[in-house]
Amino acid sequence: MTNIRSIAKLAGVSVSTVSRVLNQHPYVKEEKRRKVLEAVEQLNYIKNANAVHLSKGKTYSIGVVLPYLNLPYFGEILQGIAGEALKHGYHLQLFQTNYDKGAELDAFHRLQMKEVDGLILTSRSNSLDVLTPFMENANVVFCENVYGHSCKKIYIDHYQGIRNGLEHLYSKGHSRIGLCLHRMFGTNSEERIRGYYDSSEAAGNPVREEWIFNDCYHLEDGRDVVKAWEQLKEKPSALIVTSDQVSAGMVTEAGKRGIRIPGDLAILSFDNHPIADALNITSFEVPIRKVGEESFKLFLENTDPRPVILETKLFERGTV
């Protein structure tokens, strides 16, 4: 097996010179650098990454925990992380969990084994009590508002975002308003639900259990929501939808069924994905990519930085 001693012998230089060339240190004479690189090519040498990691105390790898790869929301966060990681010479290890708690814990075990230098959690399944033992002296960034823990976190103010959405619908004369969510658990979803109930209660508007739709991720889920809405005896006149993909499915299904948008049903969406513009869907822009960018910057911070909080912005179109 080729090692740096073999390279040094073939190149006619010292082992320390080979080491400096392989680790891209300056102050190596160009002739010696050329000889080392020629020997490396001739011997087909591949550096032992683990040895380099041990010597430097870093892997220059960061783990990204995310439930799904095929949803635009998480894809945008990943794009933001990847762009910043590239600037700083890091590569990504992806841990797709499908919200499986064991798969999420595997990422933390990899962190403990120092296979990655840190983790960014774009969404979380395990309780903080379960994760805390893995986080001692570990570099972990949460993309949510983690309460009661001193940790690195960046989040969108989903609570206020939902309240702003409801206020916009109130201003258009709506009082019977439903909610479509990815899931009922998790900090971000719970913040949305809390904002929905708090705003409805403050306005004195009714809330019905059947007006809250769960497990809404894809276009087809939006179609199913419209079908379920059509069967309700007492229908909400408007829906807040936390995904443009779902809203797009709702708009297309409503068109097939002769349901007027916004005459029969108003739709206020979130994300402001290009599909919202294409289908003329009123949507709050959620700075998702910036979440990824800022989460990586937090990872690089050595001190305990203050939380980063991002806001939403309304783009009015034709569905409200």
Residue 94 tokens read as 């992806």
pLDDT for position 52: 54
Residue 5 tokens read as 């001693």
pLDDT for position 160: 95
What's the average model confidence in pLDDT over 196-203? 97
What's the average model confidence in pLDDT over 246-260? 98
pTM above 0.95, yes or no: no
CA 62 from chain center: how many Å? Answer: 14
Share of the chain above pLDDT 90, in %: 72
22 against 161, higher pLDDT: 161
Q: Which residues contact 297 (CB under 8 A, 6 or more apart)?
A: 84
pLDDT for position 15: 83
3-state per-residue secondary structure call for the chain:
CCCHHHHHHHHCCCHHHHHHHHCCCCCCCHHHHHHHHHHHHHHCCCCCHHHHHHHHCCCCEEEEEECCCCCHHHHHHHHHHHHHHHHCCCEEEEEECCCCHHHHHHHHHHHHCCCCCCEEECCCCCCHHHHHHHCCCCCEEECCCCCCCCCEEEEECHHHHHHHHHHHHHHCCCCCEEEECCCCCCHHHHHHHHHHHHHHHHHCCCCCHHHEECCCCCHHHHHHHHHHHHHCCCCCCEEEECCHHHHHHHHHHHHHHCCCCCCCCEEEEEECCHHHHHCCCCEEECCHHHHHHHHHHHHHCCCCCCCEEECCEEECCCCC
Q: Is the dihedral of CA 125, 142, 293, 57 positive or negative?
A: negative
Q: At 16, is the pLDDT very low, low, confident or very high (cuts 50, 70, 90)?
A: confident
What's the average model confidence in pLDDT over 145-169? 91
Q: What pLDDT, in 10s, does the model give residues 43-91?
A: 877 665 555 555 556 888 999 999 999 888 999 999 999 999 999 999 9
Q: At 2, is the pLDDT very low, low, confident or very high (cuts 50, 70, 90)?
A: low
Contact in structure between 239 and 166 (CB atoms under 8 Å): no
Indicate the average pLDDT of the chain.
91
Residue with tokens 């392989």: 22
Q: What pLDDT, in 10s, does the model give residues 92-118?
A: 999 999 999 999 999 999 898 888 999
What's the average model confidence in pLDDT over 31-48? 82
